[in-house]
Amino acid sequence: MTAPSDVSSHAMASARWRISEVAFWVLALGCAFLFPSRYLIMTDIVRLGLFALSLDLILGYAGIVSLGHAAFFGVGAYAAGLLALHGIINEPVIALVAAGLVAAVLGFLTSFLVIRGVDLTRLMVTLGIALLLEALAERFSDITGGTDGLQGIEMQPILGLFAFDMFGRTGLFYSLVVLFILFLLARRVVHSPFGLSLRAIKNNPLRAAAIGVPVNRRLIAIYTLAAFYAGIAGALFTQTTALASLDVFSFERSADLMLVLVIGGTGYLYGGLIGAVVFKMLQELFQSITPQYWLFWIGLVLVVIVMVGRARIHRFVLFVPNLIIRQLAGRKAAVAVPESDAS
């Protein structure tokens, strides 16, 4: 009877907070205070990070490749926008949760389509759902505002206390708090027995089913949760920019998201957040060099990453940090290497 206790002690050990993780969040908070002139871009990064976290949940932990994750982002964005525009739910936090729940319902319904079939079918179905929603949003332009988007959204103060200001200060701290809370939840989920069973499914669905993991139910659950996260990210987008337009559903958004996650690495939750920072900085850099053609360089980054190999790049990048951690904390210290990569 030692095996179960081994598993649980191993799971508990890997769930323990590490110094590097604490440092990461302190650094994130520090940035928010240090650069008061860059609130808007930092909010952008936080949003993107949350969105990437959502994709990481299904890609990195459950191995579902999705080309249409923007569907949930878009639904969340429009839900939050419509709730605020028509004054149905004025309080931003409740509206945020409501928008996330709308996306989660959609995720639950579409998960039955997604869990069928193999990679290629999943790619097509997820892409199809996002395109379908985009077409729908365009069709019902009297509700969604069509190509002009939702306009005239006015956000009420958060919890009735903190009003959104024009510099984006409130928006940033609001997004950061939301990200942190959702990150804690995600961290709890992936280190739970549930999360471990997801990894078993990702590695070998057949074997997971054989040892008694209800594969389909687990996949539906995580897909719904990821949709909830993406919906929240979308709602944050609407609430902090007071805007929701058709491009929330666009293919480029889903594709960019893949890039973010690939830069950061999948399967250890921080990948999306780090990737979001790197991606936004790259985007800023390329846009300052060639304002119109930055897409080319983003594409080049993708091609190079794949050609060199994702695992190899992460080893290069993490070589110096790992060295420092080892020197500081001795040989046995946990290193910041992603535990596994999506395949």
Partner 1 sequence: MASILTNLFDGVAYGMLLFVLACGLAVTLGLMNFVNLAHGAFAMAGGYICAVLVNNSGWPFFAALPLAFVGSALIGIALERTLYRHLYSRSHLDQVLFSIGLVFMSVAAVDYIMGSSRVFIKLPAALEGQIDLFGVGIGRYRLMIVVICGLLTLALQLILAKTRFGSRLRAAVDDPRAASGLGINVPQVFAFTFAFGCGLAGLGGALSAEILGLDPYFPLKFMIYFLIVVTVGGSSSITGPFLASLLLGIADVAGKYYVPKVGPFVIYTVMIVILLWRPNGLFGRTAAR
Q: Which residues bind partner 1 (CB under 8 A)?
A: 59, 65, 67, 113, 116-121, 123-125, 127-129, 131-132, 135-136, 139, 251-252, 255, 258-259, 262, 292-303, 305-307, 310, 342-343
- Rounding to the nearest 10 degrees, give the CA dihedral for residues 242, 253, 232, 124: 140
The smaller minimum CB distance to partner 1, of residues 45 and 67, is found at 67
Q: At what angle do helices 270-289 and 294-308 cross, to 10 degrees?
A: 140
The smaller minimum CB distance to partner 1, of residues 74 and 168, is found at 74
CB 264 within 8 Å of CB 276: yes
Using alpha carbons, select from 149, 158, 199, 189 the residue that is nearest to residue 176: 158
Number of other residues whose CB lies within 10 A of the CB of residue 59: 25
The smaller minimum CB distance to partner 1, of residues 96 and 259, is found at 259
Q: What's the one-letter identity of residue 144?
A: T
The smaller minimum CB distance to partner 1, of residues 66 and 224, is found at 66
**C-beta of 254: minimal distance to partner 1 in Å?**
9
The smaller minimum CB distance to partner 1, of residues 154 and 252, is found at 252
Q: How many helices (H) and strands (E) does the chain have?
A: 15, 0
Q: Which two tokens stand for residue 221?
A: 């659950």
Pure H helices in 140-168: 141-144
Radius of gyration of the chain (CA): 20
Q: What's the one-letter identity of residue 30?
A: G
Q: How far apart (Å, rounded) are the C-alpha atoms in residues 336 and 21?
A: 9
The smaller minimum CB distance to partner 1, of residues 70 and 127, is found at 127
**C-beta of 192: minimal distance to partner 1 in Å?**
25
Which residue is associated with the tokens 């890039």? 259
Strand, coil or helix: 158: strand
**C-beta of 134: minimal distance to partner 1 in Å?**
9
Q: What's the one-letter identity of residue 200?
A: A
**C-beta of 206: minimal distance to partner 1 in Å?**
16
Tally of residues, the chain: 343
**C-beta of 196: minimal distance to partner 1 in Å?**
22
**C-beta of 289: minimal distance to partner 1 in Å?**
12
CB 102 within 8 Å of CB 76: yes
The smaller minimum CB distance to partner 1, of residues 11 and 65, is found at 65
**C-beta of 53: minimal distance to partner 1 in Å?**
17
